[in-house]
Amino acid sequence: MKSLTKEEKSVIENKGTEKPFTCEYRNHFKKGKYICRKCEATLYRSKDKFKSDCGWPSFDDEMKGVVKRVPDADGVRTEIICANCGAHLGHVFEGEKLTDKNVRHCVNSISLEFIGDEKQ
């Protein structure tokens, strides 16, 4: 496990949220993969990222078995966490019809690191 900064801990371990429209990967569309900032598990592929205008990076699919859904403390939303280390990623929403898969993983950039494809 990597050491986290105070800001990273606030989101990843204490279930905080980045301010909308300020996230590093919100408008980032290079080819590659997104890994968990805490444990480096591969979570998302760039091909599953889409522009949603919600203020945070959005994905309509995850790598199999690496993102766990749990009821949020607010009793309304569904939180998504890294299945490997429990890092808070954000929330998942269904039924918005933003993509054919009809799902949106709304993820805090600070919970992720991007690794680009070497074929760019």
Catalytically active residues are 106
DSSP string over 26-56: TT---SEEEEETTT--EEEEGGGEE---SSS
Answer for the pair 103, 94: CB distance below 8 angstroms, yes or no.
yes
Q: How remote is the C-alpha of 110 from its chain's centroid?
A: 9
